Amino acid sequence: MAGLVEKALVNLGITLPTPAAPIANYVAFVRTGNLITVSGQLCFGSDGQLAAKGQLGAGVSIEDGQKAARACAVNLLAQVKSAIGDLDKVTRVVRLGGFINSAPGFTDGPKVMNGASDLMVEVFGDRGRHARSTVGVSALPADAAVEVEAMFEVA
C-alpha cells in the first residue's frame, strides 16, 4: 500500500524513475545517522532525455529551467526511496543546492530553483520547506540546464 508521499506523487502525475547510477567516482547517496545526502541529480526526465539542455539566459527559458529543476527533484526523490524504501520516513527536507547552467549575466537562478523547491513542498508539505543555495555555473555534465543536490532527515 502506497504511503502518503507516494500518493501525493501519484496525484501530481509523477512516477519515480529507476535511480541513475553515478557516472564517476562517487556514490549516489550517503546516510549518516538520520541524514541522507544525495549527490547532484541532473534533469533527466522519465523518457531518459534531459528536460532542458543548454544555458539559462541563452536559449533556455526560466520556465523550461523550472521544469528541469523539478525533474532534478523527482530524481532526488528516486534516490531517497532507493536509500530508505519508504518516502514517508522523510521527516524533513533539510537543504537543496542548485547549479544553474547560466549565460554570463543571468541572475534569475533562484526563480529556476523554485521548480525543485516547489515540488518538495507539494509532496512533503511543511516538512518540505528547506534551506537552499543556488549557484550559476558556466557548464554542467551533458550540457544539462540544471543539477540539484539535497540533504534529507529521515526517521
50, part of any domain: yes
16, part of any domain: no
Q: What is the pLDDT of residue 23?
A: 85
Q: Which residues of the chain have pLDDT under 70?
A: 1-2
Distance spanning both ends of the chain, measured CA to CA: 19
Q: What is the pLDDT of residue 2?
A: 66
133, part of any domain: yes
Are 11 and 19 contacting, i.e. CB atoms less than 8 angstroms apart?
Answer: no
Please give the Cα distance from 127 to 105 (Å, whole number). 34
62, part of any domain: yes
pLDDT digits (tens, 9 = 90+) for 17-52: 999 889 899 999 999 999 999 999 999 998 999 999
Model confidence, pTM? 0.96
User: Nearest CA to 97 among 79, 123, 111, 116?
Assistant: 116
Domains contained in the chain, number:
1
Q: What is the pLDDT of residue 31?
A: 97
Question: Tell me, what CATH number does 52's domain have?
Answer: 3.30.1330.40
Give the domain extent around 122.
4-8+37-148
